[in-house]
Structure 1
Amino acid sequence: MAIALNLLPSCSSQKDTFTNRLYHNTTAKFNAYYYAKEKILELEDEIENEYQEDFSQVLPVFYTIDSATIESKEELLKEAREMASKAVDWHKISKWVDPSYYLIGKVDYYRGQYEEAQNTFKFLNVNSEQDDVRHIALIQLLRSFIDHRQFEDASFVIDFLSKEENIIDENKQYLYKTLAYYYEARGEMDLMAPSLFKSLEYTTDNSEASRINFILAQLYQKAGLDAFAYEYYQKSVSGSPNYERIFFAQLYSQQVAELERSKDLKRVRDYYDDLYKDNKNVDFRDVILFEKGRFEKKQGNLDEAIRLYSLATKEITENDRQKGYIYEALSDLFLNEKEDFLKTKYYLDSALTKFKETDKNYGVLAAKKIVFDQYALNYELLTTNDSLIQLSQLSPEAQEKFIDEFLAQEEERLIREAEMNKEKKTQGVFENLLAFGSSGGGSGATFYWDNTVAIQKGALEFTQMWGNRPLTDNWRSSDRGFQEAANSEGSNSIDEKTAPEDENTPASITTNLPDRATLLNQIPNSPEIRKEMLVEMEEAYFNLGKLLYFDLKQPEKSIEYLQALIEKYPETLKKPEAYYTLFLATKDLNKNAGKYALLLNQEFPDSQFTKSINNPEKVSGSQANLASGENYKIAYGYFQERRYEEAKNIVRQTLNEYPLTKNTDRLLLLDIMITGQLEPLDTYKTRLRTYLQQTKEEELLDFAEKLLKAVSEDEGNAPVPNTEATDKKEVASDISVDLPDDPNVQSPYKENLNQTHIFILPMNTTVAEKASDLTAALESFHNSNFSSERLRTGTISLGRDTTILIISPFSNSEKSLAYKETFLNSFNNDSLTEEIKNSSFVISIENFQQLNKRKDIEEYRSFYKKAY
């Protein structure tokens, strides 16, 4: 008891005696500090476990910190901070106070409270008398500076640490690894390797050494030093890495050693087959099929590459990003090699479902998808309507016969597929994906569920009686539409389907056999319905012609659709613009463009398109947009003041001088409104109806419809305009809206600063074509300044004369604006003038879809100036 009483005074946190210090050192280390440190280590283990390595890219030096992981561990971080704070507050004379302050700084760092964390690390550097704590705090401060691209501050810390002595091995390991991160962030990939080598010297964790060796191997492979790459891939296999890293190390080491240069094609193919057979590689079969497909593509075997890619998409895997790369490769192949835009669209759709918005590929793929969505919408509408209208021309008996023959063919096809599915193929490992022995499947199997043909025939008999019913309650009231059935006709293989199969769908017997009555009901036997469908087809021909020329750079295909439009719809109101696009397309192909110039002059001498080709030297581009916009404002002001003749003169002069600008539709509508004040009402209404058929802008369409409605609701009471402006009804004043150019009109763009953003650099198409080194220069710029951001560069057309360069992704507006600032201050290239650079802007993914649809950059800039 006396001893216990003697120890009680030692609990004081201030009294500096040997016994007191011993007590506080012991309790601080093994209680509060210990538990706080364990909590942080637990978080770091979770960050590592949750991170999905992307082995197709050079692995990052540090695991990327996922905000979702941090949020899920908020309670753990709170406990760590509380325990570390107790170690400081309760044991003030302990030697574990400074280490506890460091843990508090780390908690703030992981929470994203970077300023507080940096202040803590700076405080320790100035005030701590423990060199080991000062050093680790400085290293963590360095990492925080690199995270925020504060390279000047980071360089200062590096210089300071280089002069420090007696840095312990554990801190040296972390320091050299952070130095490698510094060079990674700056894009100085060649300087990463020396830092990683030094980090390896002090690495005691075998798993950590394995990962560093893998990164070194990737860096050597990227530099073309295959022998060194092979060596370090082999080294990365040691150190108890997870099997995923072992697999990719073996795969890539064989590639750099032999596969890429081998002329023994059979040996290479056997290598991939052997990998596939190995049961340890079940989780990587998609990668193996994909890599074999890439090998076949290099040999020029495109169909075999497609087959292997398609098989890879069906493999079950937890690595969505890898599956995204496979779908992206399929979309690229169908776009560039096959020029099949429909399949390109559906593979793009599938790719985007596998990438996150923050992934490197997402922004560029999303931008491409917008164009192909429009292509698919118009193409499928055109082909479906055409088929249905052809059916409607048959007699009722012939229609029924056609449907019966179609159903019979479908039944035969489905039974044939069941026969094929039951036969286990043995020609190669890639066909024999899952061989479970001879448990059934043959037509002679006695057990029903082992006989796939019997199952299929049973399903077909059920369908013939009840129709194709989904698994749902009250299924007797359900049936299937004709269009759905028509879309599935003839799809007997993965590369013949319009949309790729979902790899998560189990291989099962499906009937896909539609209901006979439903198919017959889908045929448009009504003249009114056929007329509506023909109008839709007219629009589709026109849209496809423009899309193929302006967006997909396919002048020959564009000509086919536009010529079909004019042939099938000789009275179409789209003819002037169709002639104009045909003029441009034939001119690009060095064909008889003069033919369409002549037709425009003969048939539409007053069209803006005619004026444009007759005045090729007239000012165009941004200068024309600016000038026409200013004239429009002046003319609209005159109109509001009832100075109609003056307004008309400015509008007509502007339309002649600048025939085709972003303001043309607004000028034309204003000209029509002036007509309503100066000419007969019938002329005004006729021009409005024509305008409604020709313009695309939704706001202008809505406004024109209101104008027409105002003079059509009660024509008996509507005065006929005469030549005296003061006696006429002011048609525009009857509408309770402003002309859509007015700033009060609601913008089609929405402010969403936290959404994924992309950086846009618009330029003239001619400039873009000449800037052959621009992409390479940007890649170098990104490597130097944003390498950890995994940025991707791509280009798409925004009309005939404008190409936009897209850089993505940025997780929010703040990061995209930071990129823009660095781009403007640091990026230099002979291809880009300061004017072009300064025309750049950032935009959210959602708003980009609007911009791509409207193709009006100046309209977006008005929103951009307010929102950003």
Structure 2
Amino acid sequence: MGTKYNVLYNGNIALERGKEGVNNEYTENFWELLPVERMKVTEDAFLPGQTKNADFERAEEKAIKAIQRHGMNINGKEKNPQIDEAYLLLGQARYFDKRFVPAMAAFNNILNKYPTSDKINQVKIWREKTSMRLDNDQGAIDKLKRLLEEEELEDQDLADAQATLAQAYINIKAKDSALVHLEVAAQNTKINREKARYRYIKGQLYNEFGHKDSANIEFDKIIDMHRKIPRSFYINAHLEKSNNFDTSNGDLVAFEEYLSDLEENRENRPFLDKIYYRIAEYHRGKGSDSLSEVYYNKSLRKTTKDKYLRSLSYETLGNMYFDRNIYKTAGAYYDSTMTAMVLNSKPYRIIKKKRENLDDVILYEGIAQVNDSILRMVSLPKEEQLAIYTKYAEDQRLKAEEERKRQEEASKKQSSQVTMSPGVDRKAEMMRSKSSAMILPGSSRNLQTPGQSPKGGSSSFYFYNPTTVAYGKNEFLKLWGERKLQDNWRLNNQRGSSENIAIGGELIAESELDERFNPDLYLASLPTEQTEIDSIAKERNFAYYQLGIIYKEKFKELELAQTRFEKLLQNNPEDRLILPSKYNLYHIYKELGLNNKAEEMKTVIINDYPDSRYAEILLNPQSELAKDENSPEAIYTKLYKQFTNEEYAKVIAEADVQINRLEGDIYVPKFEILKASAKGRLYGFNAYKESISYIALNYGNSEEGKKAQEIMDTALPVLAKKDFVSDEDASNFNVIFQFDNNSEEDIDAFIKILDEEVAKVKYFDLSTSKDVYDENTTFVVVHGLKSIQGANGFVELLKSEEKDKRGRPVKPKITKDYFAISSPNYAIVQRHKNLNTYLELQ
């Protein structure tokens, strides 16, 4: 009795309190298939005996106390019938504390020691729930099915077993098998929130299988339970049912009334974010973008913990603005989308990539719009230009006048509200002033002096009211501007730099009069030199080309890409942009099903550019010309191989040829970056820096351009250092033999002899290489020496005379001059081509 009504009673209370805390901490994610059991499992690691929840710890302590202090094991038989209950409490406390291995041990202890317990079926169910948490789903299925076959479970035990079996089937992706078990669980449980949960999962599964009618039956059953279940299930059942509505065949008027009822129901206020989102989706599906945008923003304005819902609303609004070509606003919405997403998740990376690409769209769209506007104005006669700017200046003046009137009205309204403080009427004020005048000199009461606010109340004196003071300051600035505290402050030459003057009853700054309302200034800002106009047109055309490529390749917005390429071709672009634009348009027309236009473009390319690789590809589409020896890919691969072989001059020359041949192709930046690397190896740091800067400036939209910018920001400042380091700070040294490329010396023969001599040295791990220094100089390098003295000694050893078998001296094979250098200093010499500086310091 003490075990049941004292120890276990308190333990069960702690367990229920802990379960309630777990339920309160858990947030349902109705966007995904709900789990059968409302509990979130994390991967946190805990030491033995360490728990996460104080209530579960107390429940476990009570269970252990009951077992250790109240157990009556006599002759191998337990005489206390409450001990099995204690082990069940112990296992449940550990289970909800997410310590599944110790929980499994507790449940197994009951099965082994108390097989006749009246709780044995519950224990078996709990053991399989624990086994499922340990990823043994198939084992849980087999044992639960055996339990259901061997035992006649009823009520809650049957519901728990069936629900656990359903979750196991869901875990192994056999979701269709879970439906029957969820139905049995829903029919047998007496707990309404569990009944609603099981039916909601059934509805989700039916939706996943495409059986909307069956799903709606389940959601209707949840709706019929109404206040018997948590409101979240009731609302989400309504929303899921509304998602299954057939807008093409259903009664739209009745459906809109249905959504309105959900919106206007006061009990649904905590869920208005989801309701507004559903209404927005409905209007967007109908094509009412303006109305849907209103509801998306309503959803966002509601305070919600549902980050996924916020991210959906932000992303949808971003897509809507993107489709309307309002890219700056779209980018802002995408930024907000990422703040509501899980960092580094796949959806986050997709949005981030889209946002980064949008930076280029915003840049080039801005260039295209501004330059188009300038060129359009330049093309007009002077009279039309003046008329347009005059009208614009007049519009700006009217706007400024309206703003001035609005501010004056606001100031007058503010000043009209300056009255005596509440609670102090005029009669009382007059009586108080009379009584003050009757006070005799020498009285203990103090008179109120000028400038002092009356104690306990407010005064009507001008300077005591901050509102009237602020209004007065504002009016002074309007009339007089900024004035210094000095004599003759009213004179015109005392006006401050930000003064305002009154003209025609209108207060407007002089700078505003000069700039905003003077059409001649707008005219003067237009370019007049033909070279400047040509530069603007060239920049505009390049922007259109880049936009066409971005829309086609990165966003798959073929119609937007089509308009940009077509506009480009209408604007007399440079020759280098014409052919790739036409070739891209040919593919766009084909993908959009505009076959006649595609054939016309194909004919133009073949007839006007018969020697181009584009014409070859169009004439031989099955030959995979893009992958033959004339394709950019193959040429780039060949050039890169030459680069690794240190044929830098050939790489630079061939890269120039390909850059001119493939103008506008996506491979051009790749050839540019390879050419920059070759120039850096051959001509040094300054040449490399110049080339990288050119790539970052002219190919900023490409991956190579972005990489070049990153190199400029991070790598170049480090590579720019050319101070030599001390030999004492180095651990690796080289021996350098210098050759003039214009001499008749056989470098390869020298290397062969050097390799033979190096191979004789057993106490160093040495190797040799042939390195290009510049166009006229080649180094043969011995690597692997550990000190400057060892490097010098090694070469002297090579130069020393040897003796043959008969003891006669033999001329050394290596007699060429050399110098020793540490590996860090050798890198500096190669990078900055400052060998002479290094040799002078030795």
Q: Assess, with a 3 A threshold, how the Cα gap between structure 1 residues 626 and 689 changes in structure 2: closer, same or farther.
A: closer
Quick check: 1:213–1:236 contact (8 Å CA) kept in 2?
no
Q: Assess, with a 3 A threshold, how the Cα gap between structure 1 residues 526 and 250 changes in structure 2: closer, same or farther.
A: closer
Q: Percent identity?
A: 17
2:144 paired residue number: 158
Shift of 1:138: 3.8
Which one of the candidate residues 248, 259, 268 is aligned to 1:281?
A: 268
In structure 2, what residue type is equivalent to 1:635?
Q
1:635 paired residue number: 642
In structure 1, what residue type is equivalent to 2:162?
Y
Quick check: 1:220–1:229 contact (8 Å CA) kept in 2?
no
Shift of 1:619: 6.4
Partners in 2 of 1:448 and 1:192 — Cα distance? Answer: 74
In structure 2, what residue type is equivalent to 1:228?
I
In structure 1, what residue type is equivalent to 2:193?
S
Deviations 1:783-819 (A, max 9, x none): xxxxxxxxxxxxxxxxxxxxxxxxxxxxxxxxxxxxx
Equivalence map 1:112-511=2 (5 Å): 112-118=98-104, 120-122=106-108, 124-129=110-115, 131=117, 134-147=120-133, 150-165=136-151, 167=153, 169-216=155-202, 223-225=211-213, 228-229=217-218, 231-237=220-226, 240-249=228-237, 262-263=250-251, 265-317=252-304, 319-331=306-318, 345-356=331-342, 368-372=354-358, 374-376=360-362, 378-380=364-366, 383=369, 405-406=395-396, 408-409=398-399, 412=402
1:730 paired residue number: 774
Shift of 1:178: 1.2
Deviations 1:202-222 (A, max 9, x none): 322233334434444555666
In structure 2, what residue type is equivalent to 1:593?
M
In structure 2, what residue type is equivalent to 1:544?
L
Shift of 1:174: 1.6
Quick check: 1:587–1:593 contact (8 Å CA) kept in 2?
no
Partners in 2 of 1:636 and 1:136 — Cα distance? Answer: 73
Partners in 2 of 1:247 and 1:673 — Cα distance? Answer: 62
Shift of 1:354: 4.2
Where structure 1 has 5 or more consecutive residues not aligned to the other structure, the ranges are 1-21, 420-442, 450-454, 467-478, 480-514, 714-720, 735-868
Which one of the candidate residues 549, 554, 557 is aligned to 2:552?
A: 549
CA RMSD, Structure 1 to Structure 2 (Å):
6.6
In structure 1, what residue type is equivalent to 2:145?
D
Partners in 1 of 2:657 and 2:525 — Cα distance? Answer: 50
Deviations 1:737-769 (A, max 9, x none): xxxxxxxxxxxxxxxxxxxxxxxxxxxxxxxxx
Shift of 1:100: 4.4
**Are positions 1:558 and 2:533 aligned together?**
no
Quick check: 2:576–2:664 contact (8 Å CA) kept in 1?
no
Q: Assess, with a 3 A threshold, how the Cα gap between structure 1 residues 377 and 35 changes in structure 2: closer, same or farther.
A: farther
Q: How many residues align?
A: 614
Shift of 1:581: 3.9
Shift of 1:526: 12
Partners in 1 of 2:185 and 2:582 — Cα distance? Answer: 67
Deviations 1:579-621 (A, max 9, x none): 664554456554343488579969xx89x98997788634668
Partners in 2 of 1:168 and 1:392 — Cα distance? Answer: 88
In structure 2, what residue type is equivalent to 1:198?
V
Quick check: 1:47–1:69 contact (8 Å CA) kept in 2?
no
1:47 paired residue number: 22
Q: Assess, with a 3 A threshold, how the Cα gap between structure 1 residues 251 and 98 changes in structure 2: closer, same or farther.
A: same
Quick check: 1:211–1:236 contact (8 Å CA) kept in 2?
no
Partners in 2 of 1:448 and 1:259 — Cα distance? Answer: 58
**Are positions 1:593 and 2:601 aligned together?**
yes
In structure 1, what residue type is equivalent to 2:642?
A
Q: Assess, with a 3 A threshold, how the Cα gap between structure 1 residues 652 and 256 changes in structure 2: closer, same or farther.
A: closer
Partners in 1 of 2:742 and 2:43 — Cα distance? Answer: 70
2:6 paired residue number: 30
Partners in 2 of 1:315 and 1:362 — Cα distance? Answer: 23
Secondary structure at the aligned position of 2:16 is classed as helix
Where structure 2 has 5 or more consecutive residues not aligned to the other structure, the ranges are 73-79, 420-466, 479-497, 499-510, 723-739, 748-770, 779-842
Equivalence map 1:832-847=2 (5 Å): none
Quick check: 2:104–2:130 contact (8 Å CA) kept in 1?
yes
TM-score (norm: length of structure 1): 0.53
Quick check: 2:643–2:678 contact (8 Å CA) kept in 1?
no
TM-score (norm: length of structure 2): 0.54
Shift of 1:572: 9.5
Quick check: 1:583–1:596 contact (8 Å CA) kept in 2?
no
Secondary structure at the aligned position of 1:65 is classed as coil
Partners in 1 of 2:60 and 2:377 — Cα distance? Answer: 74
Quick check: 1:81–1:107 contact (8 Å CA) kept in 2?
yes
1:65 paired residue number: 40
In structure 2, what residue type is equivalent to 1:50?
E
In structure 2, what residue type is equivalent to 1:730?
D
Quick check: 1:403–1:519 contact (8 Å CA) kept in 2?
no
Partners in 2 of 1:190 and 1:318 — Cα distance? Answer: 32
In structure 2, what residue type is equivalent to 1:547?
I
In structure 2, what residue type is equivalent to 1:184?
I
Quick check: 1:331–1:348 contact (8 Å CA) kept in 2?
yes
Greater C-alpha Rg: 2
Q: Assess, with a 3 A threshold, how the Cα gap between structure 1 residues 517 and 80 changes in structure 2: closer, same or farther.
A: farther
Partners in 2 of 1:577 and 1:676 — Cα distance? Answer: 30
Partners in 1 of 2:55 and 2:513 — Cα distance? Answer: 63
User: Once structures 1 and 2 are overlaid, which stretch shifts more, 107-116 or 276-285?
Assistant: 107-116
Shift of 1:550: 0.9
Q: Assess, with a 3 A threshold, how the Cα gap between structure 1 residues 220 and 155 changes in structure 2: closer, same or farther.
A: closer
